[in-house]
Amino acid sequence: MPLIYVTSPIHPDVLKALSLVGEVRLGYGSDAVSYADIQQQVDAVFLRGGHISAEMIATSPNLRIVARHGAGYDNVDYKAAEELGVWVTNTPGENRRSVVEHVFALLLGLSRKIQLATDQTRNEIWAADRLSLTGIELEGRTLGLIGFGDIGRHVAPVAEAFGMRVLATDPAYDSSFDERLVDLDTLLAQADVVSLHVPLQPGTENLIGGAEIEKMKTGAILINTSRGGVIDEAAVADALRSGKLGGAGVDVLAAENIDMITPFSCNTFPVSDLPNLLVTPHVAGQTNESLLRVGMSAVEAISAVLRGEAPLHPVNKPAPKTFN
| Predicted pLDDT at 320 | 72
High-pLDDT (> 90) share of the chain, %: 76
| Domains detected in the chain | 3-94+288-306 (3.40.50.720), 96-279 (3.40.50.720)
pLDDT of 272 > 90? The answer is no
pLDDT grade for 259, boundaries at 50, 70 and 90: low
From the list 142, 94, 29, 37, the residue with the least C-alpha distance to 300 is: 94
pLDDT of 176 > 80? The answer is no
| Predicted pLDDT at 258 | 62
pTM of the model: 0.85
Which amino acid, one-letter code, is at 252? V
* Secondary structure E strands in the chain: 3-6, 23-26, 44-47, 65-68, 87-89, 142-146, 165-169, 193-196, 220-224, 245-250, 277-279
High-pLDDT (> 70) share of the chain, %: 93
Backbone torsion region of residue 203, taken as left when φ is above 0, otherwise alpha when ψ lies between -120 and 50, otherwise beta: left
pLDDT of 242 > 90? The answer is yes
Instruction: Measure the CA–CA gap between 2 and 65, rounded to whole angstroms.
Output: 12
Is the Cβ–Cβ distance between 185 and 215 less than 8 Å? yes
Average pLDDT over residues 160-180: 89
Average pLDDT over residues 32-57: 96
pLDDT of 38 > 90? The answer is yes
pLDDT grade for 107, boundaries at 50, 70 and 90: very high
| Predicted pLDDT at 261 | 62
Coil, strand or helix at 312: coil
Range name among 5-9, 124-128, 250-254, 259-263 with the lowest pLDDT average: 259-263
Average pLDDT over residues 233-250: 95
pLDDT of 273 > 80? The answer is no
| Predicted pLDDT at 16 | 98
| Predicted pLDDT at 265 | 62
| Predicted pLDDT at 257 | 66
| Predicted pLDDT at 178 | 86
From the list 85, 32, 34, the residue with the least C-alpha distance to 58 is: 85
Residues carrying an active site annotation: 227, 256, 282
| Predicted pLDDT at 200 | 86
| Predicted pLDDT at 71 | 84
- The phi, psi pair for 154, rounded to 5°, reads -90, -20
